[in-house]
Structure 1
Amino acid sequence: MRRFSLWLRDKPVVADSVLAGLLLLLDLAVSQDATNTAAFLVFSVLIPLPIALRRVYPRAMAVTFMVLSFCAGTIGYIVGDPTVHGALLGHGIMLYTLVAYLGRREGLWYGLALIADTVYGMALVSGFKGADLAFVSVFFALCWALAEFSGARRAYDAEVAARLAVADSDRERRAHDAVSAERTRIARELHDVVAHAVSVMIVQADGARYALRADPDTTEQALVTIAGTGREALRELRRTVALLRTEHAPDQVPQHGTAGLARVTQLMRDAGLAVELELAGELDEVAPEVSLGLHRIVQEALTNTLRHAGAHPKAWVRVRRRTDHIEVEVTDSGGVPVRPEDRIQGSGLGLAGMRERMAVLGGSLEAGRTADGAWRVHARIPLAPPDQE
């Protein structure tokens, strides 16, 4: 049953066609009271048709339904048939669709047209009866209220889903950063092991070469030291390489360049953060280390804005390529922080991580409040990162 419900949710035309069929049956039930059965049955078939596509083409189907309603009332008046089509209850469905899926503005326009159509129909057919006016008013008011609730719930679910996506992305990023930090530690250990061992072996080899003929015992001791140092370095090297083989580095590298920046900003927009992105210069033809650093600075700054910049945060991201460096500036709107229970919690190491990354790249980073209370992150990344020893 749940699988069928999920399948039906992905195929709105199927569910709406069933709803259109119910309206058709309702109209056929009252067709026996019609004085002109042929004309009545034609509109009985036509009126429910837009309901089947209401969620695919909501504006077009709403206009079509309104036109059919107007024509049905006019034709009924011309042929002298006062019978009201039961399928016109679809007006409430159309009003619900516009408010829930497109917003109040479209619903308001449809509501005004609906008032005009209702007054026109009553004037032509049944006259202005208090009971009919009360029923129509209550029915359409309930449809609007239900649409408001459904639309708010849908918007809430979408924002929660987007924020969960941001949280998942943030968790994956932090996991990748943790792997990168461990990889850096292993590389540093490997460098220390090999550099130390090779330095000892070079010194001993030079000493053995000078003492080869004059002092055989010293030469022998130097060779023993070289062999022992080499074996120990080989063991350490094998251990470190075994650790490196446990990960596949190419699969861990995220998308960089302008595409990566666009993806990060769009992800934040989906979570409720209004982001304006400004790019200047060629950003796709830079070193991978610089591209990764640029990507991470923007991602971390926007994540911090989403957490701390208030209930309706806004951020401006400006990335400019200069002759020998790239400037990154992320500014938010400031504001009153959200309640602690509503805030996405982090580790509190975002700024420290950004500064460490800039230190590795040989760049600089400034972060702090501006005079108007906004938070600003400004980074300067050299296009040629320093050589790592």
Structure 2
Amino acid sequence: MIRSLSRPQLVVDAAVAVIAVLSRSVLGYDSAVVFWVTVGMAGAVFLRRLSPGLALALAWCTVAVQLWASLPPDIANAAVLPVLYATAAYGSRPVRWLGLASVPVGALTATVYVLYLQSSGLTGFVDLVLQVRTGEAFQRGAPGVIGFVSAVALFGLSWVLGLLVATWRTAREGRSALRSAAAEQAEARREVAVEQERTRIARDMHDVVAHSLAVVIAQADGGRYARAANPEAADDAFRTIANTARSALADVRVLLGQLRSNPDSASGGDGTSAPVMAAPQPTLADLDRLVDQFRASGLTVERSESGPAAQLGAGHQLVIYRIVQESLTNVLRHGDAARTVAVGFSWQDDALTVTIDSGLLVPRDTGAAPNGHGIDGMRERAVLAGGSFAASEIGDRFVVCLTLPPLTAAPPLCREAVSE
């Protein structure tokens, strides 16, 4: 296996190999075989990071040539130490285990060669076999054991150091991967939060603009018709238009301020983002004012409550307000404004059911809301608040039903609306 190395790494390894050959030349080469043994070991050093398996094979081949030529141990043999280190530090699993196996085999080879094939003047393994048969070889048993253990310790230390480096590198890469994964998760959570905030702002923008424009249009038409016969009614209509427009403008400014993401534009260029002050969110206490606005626009709205009222959180109150607002706006835009709109609150022990019952001018398919926001937006609000939502035509009526929190069995009107 050939590993990918950077150009500086290749240059450094090549320079080390060349320096090794040149340094050995200072001692001189007794024969061409000595020169090629040095070149072979230098080549193994060059290949140790590029291909640890190939470097190990080249080192063994070079040692075999050295043994075949009966050459004495040479300083070039020290190259086996970085090669063994590289097999553990950079090699694959098979190469790593081959490097480990080379530790005792190499130690045994070096011990036998040094003690029995060089120091005694023997020139071949046949003579060593004869010494073993006669018992002469065992006279040097203690030095052989010491030499073997020393060689194993030296070679094994190089291999273990490489394994420690590989383990440290793997742990570092694992920590880096964990940090990257955590950063990606944080970015994903941020994107989800941003998308949820955009969806919320889009719903609020739709509710504010649709409601305000519906009231403005209704009041403008009424004021135009009543101007000649009843100037005071026209003045009231224009006053309602102005108040509605001002309120809508304030709400839109808040929503647009929440959308600003450029620190310079938000802070005047000093690099710090100025906080956007959010307007107070409407609650159930604001429903009377909302109903009065629609009554002033020509709708007949009757509000009724049954059961003891319970305390609701601000989030649930906002959901109820927005759904009532959207439903009344749809009546003003699409329904029969001449018929009474019934807004009912049914308080129960574990839930509140809100129904908006209005008349229809022409029966229509309610599978999709106008502009894709109305019904879908109300349903999303109800689900996010942990409630249930239903909207359907029942004869010539259109019924919207909201239940907070969800019940195991919906009230009759909700069941009827869902089944239609």
The TM-score with structure 2 as length reference comes to 0.48
Counterpart of 2:61?
A: 67
C-alpha distance in 2 between matches for 1:224 and 1:20: 93
Deviation at 1:161, TM superposition (A): 0.8
Preserved CA contact (<8 Å) 2:86 2:162: yes
C-alpha distance in 1 between matches for 2:149 and 2:108: 13
C-alpha distance in 1 between matches for 2:218 and 2:177: 60
C-alpha distance in 2 between matches for 1:178 and 1:54: 50
C-alpha distance in 1 between matches for 2:190 and 2:106: 60
C-alpha distance in 2 between matches for 1:10 and 1:152: 25
137, 156, 163: which one aligns with 1:141 = 156
Sort the Cα spacing of 1:125 and 1:37 in 2 relative to 1 into closer, same or farther, 3 A.
Answer: farther
Matches within 5 A, 1:147-158: 147-158=162-173
C-alpha distance in 2 between matches for 1:135 and 1:27: 25
Matches within 5 A, 1:52-91: 52-74=46-68, 76-77=69-70, 82-91=71-80
SS of the equivalent of 1:171 reads: helix
Deviation at 1:83, TM superposition (A): 2.0
- What is the CA deviation profile of residues 141-199 of structure 1, one whole-angstrom value per residue up to 9, with x for unaligned ones? 21122122212211111111111111111222222233223323322332232122123
Higher mean Cα deviation, 172-181 or 135-144? 172-181
Preserved CA contact (<8 Å) 2:88 2:96: yes
SS of the equivalent of 1:142 reads: helix
13, 20, 35: which one aligns with 2:10 = 13
Question: Which letter maps to 1:49?
Answer: G
C-alpha distance in 1 between matches for 2:115 and 2:23: 19
Unaligned runs of 5+ in 1: 1-7, 249-355, 361-389
Considering only CA atoms, is the larger Rg found in Structure 1 or Structure 2?
2
C-alpha distance in 1 between matches for 2:57 and 2:40: 14
Preserved CA contact (<8 Å) 2:90 2:166: yes
C-alpha distance in 2 between matches for 1:113 and 1:39: 24
C-alpha distance in 2 between matches for 1:228 and 1:237: 14
130, 147, 164: which one aligns with 2:179 = 164
- What is the CA deviation profile of residues 51-82 of structure 1, one whole-angstrom value per residue up to 9, with x for unaligned ones? 123212222222222222222322x22xxxx3
Matches within 5 A, 1:1-389: 11-21=8-18, 23-24=20-21, 27-28=24-25, 31=27, 36-74=30-68, 76-77=69-70, 82-102=71-91, 105-113=94-102, 115-116=104-105, 119-120=108-109, 123=112, 126-127=115-116, 130=144, 131-246=146-261
C-alpha distance in 2 between matches for 1:64 and 1:181: 62
- What is the CA deviation profile of residues 304-349 of structure 1, one whole-angstrom value per residue up to 9, with x for unaligned ones? xxxxxxxxxxxxxxxxxxxxxxxxxxxxxxxxxxxxxxxxxxxxxx
SS of the equivalent of 2:48 reads: coil
SS of the equivalent of 2:175 reads: helix
Sort the Cα spacing of 1:236 and 1:10 in 2 relative to 1 into closer, same or farther, 3 A.
Answer: farther
Sort the Cα spacing of 1:118 and 1:150 in 2 relative to 1 into closer, same or farther, 3 A.
Answer: same
Question: Which letter maps to 2:116?
Answer: G
Higher mean Cα deviation, 40-49 or 135-144? 40-49
C-alpha distance in 2 between matches for 1:179 and 1:87: 64
Over the matched positions of the two proteins, sequence identity in percent amounts to 28
- What is the CA deviation profile of residues 228-278 of structure 1, one whole-angstrom value per residue up to 9, with x for unaligned ones? 422442343344334424269xxxxxxxxxxxxxxxxxxxxxxxxxxxxxx
C-alpha distance in 2 between matches for 1:106 and 1:53: 13
Preserved CA contact (<8 Å) 2:51 2:91: no
C-alpha distance in 2 between matches for 1:137 and 1:25: 29
C-alpha distance in 2 between matches for 1:99 and 1:121: 21
Preserved CA contact (<8 Å) 2:41 2:77: yes
SS of the equivalent of 1:94 reads: helix
Preserved CA contact (<8 Å) 1:27 1:85: no
Question: Which letter maps to 2:207?
Answer: D
The TM-score with structure 1 as length reference comes to 0.52
Counterpart of 1:381?
A: none
Preserved CA contact (<8 Å) 1:208 1:222: yes
Question: Which letter maps to 2:192?
Answer: D
Deviation at 1:111, TM superposition (A): 3.6
